[in-house]
Amino acid sequence: MGHVPAGYCTVNPFIISNAATQLSAFLQAVFGAQPVEAAHTIDTDGLVLHSELKLGDSTLMVVDRKPDWPWTPSFLQVYVADLAQTLQTAVTHGATIVTEPTPMYGELFSRFVDPWHNLWWVYQSIGMDSWEATVPEGETWDTQSPELNYIHRTLLETMPRLGQPK
């Protein structure tokens, strides 16, 4: 798209955190995100006013929450090459897995909550048909499978527990 600057996507996530510097280090360790040093801006109060990290073809912006701003968790979807390794690294850096790896329509799917209470949907393609290709035209996908029931249940169990980090 001609109106999107080089290095950005049409939609770019903005994560507001109680600990932007630590969250950025987590993203670097877990996903291999690369900081954009030229974008790093500290406000007069010492908080991160703006920072950017490149993750694959995406740009993530991470900032510190100001004292009078509401707490807002982020909900992000990431595709990775090695789900098991990503989850192991995330747990090593303080994340909690809330949905164990589960096959779902050509992908291996998992969720984790990072130490700042953001919820990550993490996918690895396993080379099968996508869910769109598995559903005959005019029908809906099978919401009664054990896998989808588990994925749904873990989301419903996790969401009420996503309180503001202490």
Beta bridge partners of 113: 96, 119
Picking from 127, 95, 128, the residue whose alpha carbon sits closest to that of residue 112 is 95
List, for residues 106-144, the tens digit of each pLDDT value. Answer: 889 999 999 999 999 999 988 765 555 555 565 555 557
Positions of E strands within the chain? 14-17, 34-35, 41-42, 48-50, 52-55, 58-64, 75-79, 96-104, 107-113, 119-125
What per-residue confidence (pLDDT) applies to 164? 81
Return the CATH number of 73-166, one of 1.25.60.10, 3.30.720.110, 1.10.1020.10, 3.40.50.1460. Answer: 3.30.720.110
Question: At the topology level of CATH, where does 1-72 sit?
Answer: 3.30.720
- 7-65: pLDDT as tens digits: 778 788 999 999 999 999 999 999 999 999 999 999 999 999 999 999 999 999 999 99
